Amino acid sequence: MENNAKFYKIITYGCQMNLHESEKIAGILTALNYAETDDDEKAKVIVFNTCCIRENASQRAEGNVGALKQLKRKKKDLIIAVGGCMTQQPGFADKFHEKFPFVDIIFGTHNLEKFKDLLLKKLSTKKTVISIDEKEGEIIEGTPKTRTSFPNAWVNITYGCNNFCTYCIVPYVRGRERSRKLQDVVNECKELIDAGYREITLLGQNVNSYGNDLGNVNFATLINEVSKIKGKFRLKFMTNHPKDFTEDLIKAISDSDKTCKCVHLPVQAGSNRILKLMNRRYTREDYLEKVRLLRKYIPDVAITTDIMVSFPTETEEDFLDTLNLVEEVRFAGAFTFIYSKRNGTPAAKMDGQIPEDVSKERIVKLIDAQNRINREQSEQYLNKVVEILCEGYDDKKNMYLGRDTYGRMAYFNGNDNLVGEFVNVKITKTGGISLVGEIVND
Ligand code: SAH
Ligand code: SF4
Ligand code: F3S
């Protein structure tokens, strides 16, 4: 049997959206009787689901594809497929094919649902299949999914982005914003809860503009409807955009008994001059007002963010505005990035690109400040009992791990299989970002 078994391996780069897209590719392969492996030698199909948000994401993907050249020479029937945001970039696929002629299938973000057809075409014609749809099509429902993140389940609510932040490649590789029908989203969530999932994360580049293209619904309606689903589960969503994060929406979040007390609200920069150049369409003051409102309705809410340093022309003063904002808001966590020039975006043509040594200095200062804030917040947890949704088992630490409603990670010991269970954990050790504790009975 083993000899006839067909295996696939998927390597994913980039955001949660891409992780979920890989679950769809896995679903398509599962329906074709392939099983998962992490062993290159065993795999009959290896898929790279790529990202191009920053230069290093693209470089890593290219490096890892290149590294398979030898294996492909040895294993003639191995199929290598490369898809995702990197290959969707205008004019990219043909150059990529020239550079890596041994890659069998090159596909983009707009035709992922047709991956089955592309694979079958490759198997029957033996010719390289290059298939990039330039424009996004209608939303295709019903693609099978092999989920990999139990007890969490990702659920798309919008695809694409209309915001055109001047540094960002996403609108060019994911197309215009399209919302899934409310009923399709609610039905999927219901099925997942019925199947035992304990956390739903709604996904969109800007979830707050959900429904703009549908007419009679918005994100607040969606939160209300999903929250009505029976059963105990946590509801999360990402990403929010400050310009569309309204008081009504904040109310809907605080009214729901399912939403977690953590909100990811990317600020990107603390300087009004830079925010304007980024085309973010809010000011530092607008952002701080959203934070104030959030804390008015959900006083203990944990706010996390994305921050970029060294956008073109960023001065030391601009950077200090960002650093001050971090101190003022006291985020519960921040993803920090050095601006990376993306060809085809307006910012790539701007003068005043910042030298690498300056960027490094700035990001180190930013990370140091955020780490200190994280440590101070962690200390508050000592001896507290928190409800943790157990997400998995860490083989290196030999402990279970999970998160509380604020998104804070904790490690703990347990005898039974606890993955997918809610457990009460008393925090006994704090240190960095994550906590250590022990299970207590209520
Ligand atoms: N739609 C989301 C996330 C987009 S990508 C949002 O609007 O927030 C995730 C993060 O990557 C962004 O928030 C931004 O901080 C960062 N990012 C995007 N483009 C980048 C670039 N060219 N260089 C460095 N970081 C970038
Ligand atoms: Fe990119 Fe801005 Fe859209 Fe986010 S909102 S995906 S940063 S263009
Ligand atoms: Fe995500 Fe990267 Fe594409 S962050 S949307 S996979 S460019």
Per-residue pLDDT tens over the stretch 375-410: 999 999 999 999 999 999 999 999 999 999 999 999
Calpha distance 182→194 (Å, rounded): 18
Q: Which of 17, 88, 109, 161 to mutate to test the pocket of ligand 2 (most atoms within 8 A of CB)?
A: 161
Q: What is the DSSP letter of 354?
A: P
85 lines ligand 1 (CB under 6 A): no
For residue 431, is pLDDT > 90? no
Hey, which bits of 232-367 come out as E strands? 234-238, 262-264, 302-309, 333-338
Average pLDDT, the chain: 96
**Residues lining ligand 2, CB < 6 A?**
161, 163-165, 168, 170-171, 205-206, 241
Nearest to 300 by CA among 328, 267, 262, 274: 262
Average pLDDT over residues 173-180: 97
Calpha distance 363→381 (Å, rounded): 27
φ, ψ of residue 131 in degrees (nearest 5) = -140, 100
Residue 53 alpha carbon to ligand 1 centre in Å: 7
Residue 382 alpha carbon to ligand 2 centre in Å: 37
φ, ψ of residue 280 in degrees (nearest 5) = -85, -20
The two tokens of residue 165 are 């932040």
For residue 38, is pLDDT > 60? yes
Task: Give the pLDDT of residue 434.
Answer: 84
For residue 311, is pLDDT > 70? yes
Q: Which of 308, 336, 363 to mutate to test the pocket of ligand 1 (most atoms within 8 A of CB)?
A: 308
Taking the model in full, what pTM does it have?
0.97
For residue 101, is pLDDT > 80? yes
For residue 3, is pLDDT > 60? no
17 lines ligand 3 (CB under 6 A): yes
Residue 53 alpha carbon to ligand 3 centre in Å: 6
Task: Give the pLDDT of residue 1.
Answer: 46
Task: Give the pLDDT of residue 442.
Answer: 64
